[in-house]
Every structure is written in C-alpha cells, then in structure tokens.
Structure 1
Amino acid sequence: MKKLNTLKMLTLACGVLAITACSKDNPSDGGSDTGNSGKREKFVFIVNGQGSGEAGTSGNYILSTDNVSDGTLSIVGNGMPATEQSFINQNNYIFGLTYGGQGPITPYNIDSKGEFQRLKDEQVNAETSGIYGHFGDKNIILGTTNRSIVNPVATLRNYDAQNFSIANKNTVDLSKVLGGKRMAIWTGVFQVGNKIYVPFQSGDGSNNWGGNFTTTDTTYIGIFSYPELKFEKTIRDGRGSHIGNWWAQQGLAVDNKGDAYVWFSANEASLASKNKSGFLRIKKGTDEFDKDYYFDIESLGNGKIARGSYLKDDKFLMTVYNKGEQAEGVGGGLVKLYIVDIQTKKMTEIKEIPAHEQQGYKDVVFVEKDGSKAYYACQSLEDKQYYTYTIDINNATAKRGLKFVGVSGVSSMSKINY
C-alpha cells in the first residue's frame, strides 16, 4: 500500500502549513489577466523574502514592474507585504487566500498612481481553499480541503470577483463520487465549456492526508454543473494517472478549439504508476475521455512531465524531469523546459533556459494574449538567484531578463492594468 506523505513532510518543514516559509512550495496562480483593459499595465509577482539583507524580512510580498526584459527588482522600495499564503488573479485584481479554518479572501489592485493597495474593506470570510480556479473572467471557484473519510463533505464556492462576494455554494460527499468505496481527494478545479472539472486522487481516507493510495493507474475527473455547483458524474481513464496536485492549478487546460487536455507525471514516489507520463484528451462538448487520443510523452526519451501550461494553438509549455529525476515532495528534482505540440506529438527543448529545480505546485508562467510570447521565472543553479525569461513561442527560444534581488522564491506572475 502506498502512502501519501508529501503534505505531511511539507507541514513539518514549513510548520503548521505556514507555507510562506518554504517559498519554493508557495502556491499561486499566474494565469493571463482577463479583466478590465487600461492604458497602462504592470507585471505583478508574488515573491518570498529571504529574511535578511536587502529583503528585510521573510514572508510574502507583492512586487510590480513595467519591464521584465532586463534590470533588477528588489523588495526594498517596491514590495508590499502580504499576509496570505496563496494568490489568484481575476478581473484585474490579485486575491489573497488564507490557510487554516476560516479566513478572508482579500482583493489587491493598483491605484491610479501605480501603487498596490490592499482592499481590506472588501474582504469576505470563507473556509480554507485547497483548490481554486477561474470561471469566465469574473468568477473564482473555491473548494475546501477534505481528505479523511470521517470528514468527507466538502464545499464548492462561487466567488464573484466583481462584487467581492460569495455568489453561491454547494456541498458534495467526496466518499461517494468514486462509487462509495474510496475517498476522492480533489487536486484542482477548471472550467471546461460550461462545466466545472475537478480532478481527483483516489485514497482510502484513513487519515487527514488521504490515507493509502492504491489506484494510481487511473485518471479521475469529477464533473460539476455551473452555476449550481452540483456533482454530475465521474469520468476515468486507465491509460493515465493522477493529474494536478493540491493548490497547483495545473494538470488540465482547454485549447483554442475547446478541447481539454490533461497531463500526468506518474513520477511522485508515493503515487508512482505503471502507466507512462503523458496526455489524454476530452473533446469539446463530450464530457468523456477520447479513446482515440493518447500521447505517451515519456516514449520520446526526454523524461517524465513535471508541470505544464497552455500556450496557444497546439502548443504547451512543459517542464520535464531529467532522466532519473523525480519530485522531492511537492517540488524539487531537476527539470528542463520544452514546447510540446500535442497534435504532432513532438517536443522542442528551450535550450536558453538551463536545467533548474522544479518549483513547488506549479510553474511560474505568464502568456501574452496574442500568443506571441510567454514569460517564465525560475532559479539559476549557478548563483541561486531568480530570473525571468522571455520565450519566443514560435521559435522555442528564450532570453534571460529581470533578476530578483533578496528573494528566496517566486510563486506567481501576472499582469494588472491601471
């Protein structure tokens, strides 16, 4: 029987899930801004301070800059302290989410002078969110963290990011969505068409971390209605493995044709699978796995998938473990960056971005709306500093740009108009 001890080890390392203290495992969302248009815009980063020198103190900070092509960016004189543990951008705001019981959802934005402001008067109290994701360009779906069979009833909430309120909520018994014998432990929430897709891991629920995971050779997704947030059915495919991971917001994406693709690492020590790392597809409007599509990316000989983000057309940006590498907890393990074509089933290494340690939860990526380029942030193995890279998507090349000073981790990158 295989046990999931990743989160338990993370708790011991960070201390009662004070995740800001382990910056590489600090979860945040860095998807494209879909909010209000403005005359000016800034790149926005969630970073963790080193706790000494130029950084001042440890903890999360929000940093912004007009330019990521060159220069340096420091917390000193730029950073706004943030008390929340995880963040998601929506409707031209950054929303901070707390961890542990009840806590506020706090909006941040940029005022007319270009300064970040915390909208404390607009806070809304909600339960801890183990999963969260966008729905449209004005809403955020949040799901509570429930892994034990003795506490199987979880709540989905629909947060209105325009009016700063909970629009509606609904509960689901996660001990029943896999047929009544297993505990479904959700690992993400994604919009697919007019439905909500929630990937599951399958455990026996024998403890607060999910217990024993003995069915790692199947991909599970629960489908929920919107806006009712009601559970409809579970779909599964025995060619894959678990997708997504707690707080990650990665593992599933919808392309410009409306087809959904899921990818799986099959690489974590406690969740290893007999199946190869790769992609599955759900064609638009079907709510079922496409039996005619399977992309065994591992057979290309470059390694197993670590994380991924959708770019444009048929292209995905993927971090892939070096051969023999695997996750060390939530993150860790050396990876290289590739642009993967899910139709031709080919992958091209972005050689200008050297091998680096896999970041916790998700990659730090921002994609321009026109699909011309993407931005990526990671730590250099040489000097241990964090840098941004500008990626030419069409040519699979990159150029190193902005350097972060006094920063021990970068967990999110997005843009806000003002």
Structure 2
Amino acid sequence: MTKLKLIWSAMGLVLLMSVLTACEKKPVYPKEEENPADKKYGAMIMLGAWPNTAYYILELASLKEGKADLNGHGVNVTTIVQDQGVIQRGGYYYYHNTQSGRLGKYHISNDRLITDKEVPFSQIASVSSHLWINDETLLLFGVNGDQNQLQYAEVKVDGLQVSGGVIPIPPSPDETYKNLGIGFAEFRDGKIFLGYGHGAEWPGTPLPKVLVAVIDYPSMELSKTLEDSRSKWPGGPTRYTPTSFVDEKNDIYFNTAPDNGSDYDAGSAIYRIKSGSDELDPNYYFDFSSKANGHTIQAMWYIGNGEAIVRARIPSDRNKPDFYYKWDSYFVIVNVNKGEVVKKLDLSTDIGEVFVQAVVVENEKAYIMLNDADKKGYMWEYDPANGKLTKGLEFAEGYDYLLRIDKWK
C-alpha cells in the first residue's frame, strides 16, 4: 500500500470514529412538539375572505405561553367544513357538511386530519344548535328546507348511529313571521330547553317574543312552550358559540340575541329558569343592553360563582358590505345572580367575526382568545379571584381571523 493510501485510510478511520462518537453523545429523540399527548387544545384559524376562505386547526400544548404559528404547522380542514361551526368534545370534531350531505367525526393528530367516520345525514336540512345528553349522545337541532319545521337528530357518537324526527312546536301566530330559527339548547333533569324564534323575510325583524320549547327526553315529546314579550330571539346557534349555561345551583341562564334574527336595534336580556322549574323565572330579568350602552350579547361563558364572560357587540356601520358578519366587540364580566355588569375587561377591541368560540374555562381561570387589530392575536388569562389579566400564548401573524379555541383534554 502506498503512503498516500495509508494517509487516506487513516483519515477515513478518524472520520468514522468521530461520527460514531458524535452519535453516541447526541442521540436523536422525537421532537417534543410532535408528541400528540402534549396537545390539549385546538385553535381554528381562518385565511382569506368569504367566500374564498380556508380553515386551519392548530394543535396547542398550552394557552399560557409559547407561540402558535401556521408556518409549517396546522391542518387545512376546508375539505370537510364550510365554516367554523364545528361541534367539539373530548378532542373529536363533529360536522354536518350540507354540500356532501354527510355527518362526520374527526380528530387532529401530528398535523394530520383523521377521519374517524362519515355517514349520510338527511335528518336535518341545516344544523343550528346542539347539546350533549352525555359523553356518547349528541342531540342536533335545525330546520327543514322550508324553514317552518323543527327537526332533530340523536347521534350515538361512538359509531355515528343516527335517528331523528320532528318536534311539532306551535306555528307562527302571524304569517309575516314564517321562517323558524333555533336558539340556545340546554338539558337538565330529563328535559330539553330549546330556544327558538319566528323570523320575517329580509329585511324584516323577528316576532317580538322569547320562545322556549320544553321537550321531554328521551321521548322527544313537546311538554310545553314558554314565552315572554320583553325581548326576542333566545340565543344560538350553539354550534358556533354558547349563549346559555347551567350553574352550580342547577339554574339555567340564557341570553337573547336579536341580531341573530336580523334585528340590529333591539337589546339583549338574560333570563333564568330555576332548578326544579320548567318556567321562566317571573322574578328575574337582566336587561343587559340598558346597562351596556345599548350593546348586545354575542356569546356568554360561565366562569363560576355567579359570574360569566360576555362577548358584546359594538354597533357597526350598516353601509359596510361586510356588516352582517364582521362586528367589533369586547369582553365584559357580568354577575348573573345579581343582574349586574361588573366591569369591561381591559383588553383591545376584538375584531373577530360575529361567531367566535373565544373562551376556555379551566382550573378556575378563563382563557380568552383575542383578535387584535394588529393581526397578532393572543390568549389572555383572566383570574376571577383577583381580576388580573395576564398575556399568554401568542398567535404569529399570517392569518385573517381566530375563530375557535377548544379544550380537547
């Protein structure tokens, strides 16, 4: 062997030993951010403007810290959803796609969309609201194609077995208000409380009454209907945002949202149905708008001890072409027991769309997703014990709107 070959052989041996030694010192492990067990939340983010929109879901490990970035992350779910109105529970998303005529169950893992199951779905023309009887039973509510019939579907979510029917609520008392719309939905002590309204043809305003159907479960028979003429359009549609809750006392609270019935001048109120009763509490009426400069409630999340976070709408210029679905808003704390507006939270104006699932409540704190005007959104932690706001997770630029924040685990 020549001296040159010996030199190259020696150099090769040294190089090989260096590589092996380096490998021993620096073992390769899976990246921490790729461990699906660490992902406890999902954020839905929108790119573009309607109708040319794309919807992405980002997996998140924390709402308190870090930075969420669509660059190299996120799952495009536009193939299965037409809007942000997904129903989420236990990390699974449920959605009725009216274009495909199918109901699907999905989840996200390692930046992949997993289709657990899809089934044909014809029980409801368009799903508006929902409630959970338990972890395995989902009830969906909507209307038929003529918008004059209340339809429901019961879904066993493990295998997506679906059944359904019609609930014969009283017809509209006036032919002017011929379009049926579904509002809030709650289940308590074997009864379903379902808000609804009768709407007029655009640009007409709805029947000036709050209507609530009381339905026996599991028979799905109508027990009675409740009504009140001090406000109109009781909340909903719940697949976008909550407008009701059951508190520690087993009392039901729900808010009215007249703008969901195309009345942009009427105010919002909060009603109560006390535990053990199937009537509107005659001694309770919280006129929110009279205490909030005429602004109305878009959504309401209960945080405990009689308090709730309200996302309130700021009246918009009706000459704007996007007036009907883009409203500036802000967050306030209300005490529903006392019927009081406690305070406006010291946050920037929220420029999100009209329907935003913006709050997660856990460990006695609330985490609020805020669409800031500078297109750099954040999660904000609110501690009811001391009223403190703390900036948390940051959303990197590169999106148009934050639409949902959901707790998976």
- TM-score normalised to the size of structure 2? 0.76
User: Is 1:98 the counterpart of 2:118 in the alignment?
Assistant: no
Report the equivalent of 1:412. Answer: 404
- TM-score normalised to the size of structure 1? 0.75
Report the equivalent of 1:283. Answer: 274
Report the equivalent of 1:359. Answer: 353
* TM-fit CA distance, 1:213: 3.5
Deviations along 1:308-347, one digit per CA (max 9) or x if unpaired, are 222223111012345x658874543332211111123332
* TM-fit CA distance, 1:240: 2.1
Match of 1:70 among 54, 65, 70: 65
Report the equivalent of 1:143. Answer: 141
Report the equivalent of 1:312. Answer: 304
Cα 1:73–1:345 change in 2 (3 A) is same
Report the equivalent of 2:336. Answer: 342
For 1:187 and 1:302, locate their aligned partners in 2 and report how far apart those are by CA, in whole Å. 24
Deviations along 1:146-202, one digit per CA (max 9) or x if unpaired, are 374xx6334200111223221x3111356x344585543223433233222221122
User: Is 1:224 the counterpart of 2:215 in the alignment?
Assistant: yes
Cα 1:62–1:179 change in 2 (3 A) is same
Match of 1:134 among 116, 131, 135: 131
* TM-fit CA distance, 1:63: 0.9
* TM-fit CA distance, 1:64: 0.6
For 1:47 and 1:220, locate their aligned partners in 2 and report how far apart those are by CA, in whole Å. 34
Q: Runs of at least 4 residues of structure 1 off by over 6 A?
A: none
For 1:265 and 1:156, locate their aligned partners in 2 and report how far apart those are by CA, in whole Å. 22
For 2:324 and 2:382, locate their aligned partners in 1 and report how far apart those are by CA, in whole Å. 26
* TM-fit CA distance, 1:265: 4.2
| Structure 2 unaligned spans of 5+ | 1-35
Q: What amino acid maps onto 1:87 in structure 2?
A: V
Q: Which has the higher contact order (CA 8 A, sep 6+)?
A: 1
Q: What amino acid maps onto 1:410 in structure 2?
A: L
For 2:343 and 2:128, locate their aligned partners in 1 and report how far apart those are by CA, in whole Å. 31
Report the equivalent of 2:24. Answer: none
Q: What amino acid maps onto 1:105 in structure 2?
A: L
Q: What amino acid maps onto 2:284 in structure 1?
A: Y
Report the equivalent of 1:377. Answer: 369
Cα 1:173–1:329 change in 2 (3 A) is farther
For 1:68 and 1:272, locate their aligned partners in 2 and report how far apart those are by CA, in whole Å. 34
Number of matched pairs = 357
Cα 1:325–1:398 change in 2 (3 A) is farther
Cα 1:109–1:332 change in 2 (3 A) is closer
Q: What amino acid maps onto 1:316 in structure 2?
A: A
Q: Verify the 8 A CA contact 1:389 1:399 in the aligned structure 2.
A: yes
Give the RMSD, CA atoms, in angstroms.
3.1
For 1:234 and 1:287, locate their aligned partners in 2 and report how far apart those are by CA, in whole Å. 10
* TM-fit CA distance, 1:348: 3.1
Q: Verify the 8 A CA contact 1:314 1:342 in the aligned structure 2.
A: yes
* TM-fit CA distance, 1:70: 3.1
User: Is 1:164 the counterpart of 2:160 in the alignment?
Assistant: yes
Q: Verify the 8 A CA contact 1:138 1:161 in the aligned structure 2.
A: yes
- Within-5 A mapping of 1:18-417: 40-50=38-48, 58-82=53-77, 83=79, 84-85=81-82, 86-100=85-99, 103-110=101-108, 116-120=112-116, 122-127=117-122, 128-135=125-132, 136-146=134-144, 148=146, 152-166=148-162, 168-173=163-168, 176-178=170-172, 182-183=177-178, 184-203=180-199, 212-216=204-208, 218-246=209-237, 247-266=239-258, 270-272=262-264, 276-307=267-298, 308-322=300-314, 329-357=323-351, 359-368=353-362, 370=363, 372-381=364-373, 383-405=374-396, 406-417=398-409
Q: Verify the 8 A CA contact 1:169 1:229 in the aligned structure 2.
A: no
For 1:160 and 1:140, locate their aligned partners in 2 and report how far apart those are by CA, in whole Å. 7
For 2:144 and 2:114, locate their aligned partners in 1 and report how far apart those are by CA, in whole Å. 30
For 1:326 and 1:333, locate their aligned partners in 2 and report how far apart those are by CA, in whole Å. 9
| Structure 1 unaligned spans of 5+ | 1-37, 52-56
Report the equivalent of 2:12. Answer: none
Q: Verify the 8 A CA contact 1:170 1:228 in the aligned structure 2.
A: no
For 1:87 and 1:385, locate their aligned partners in 2 and report how far apart those are by CA, in whole Å. 24
Q: What amino acid maps onto 2:88 in structure 1?
A: N
For 2:43 and 2:367, locate their aligned partners in 1 and report how far apart those are by CA, in whole Å. 12
For 1:411 and 1:109, locate their aligned partners in 2 and report how far apart those are by CA, in whole Å. 17
For 1:289 and 1:356, locate their aligned partners in 2 and report how far apart those are by CA, in whole Å. 32
Q: Verify the 8 A CA contact 1:154 1:172 in the aligned structure 2.
A: yes
Greater Cα radius of gyration, structure 1 or 2: 2
Moved more, 278-287 or 301-310: 301-310
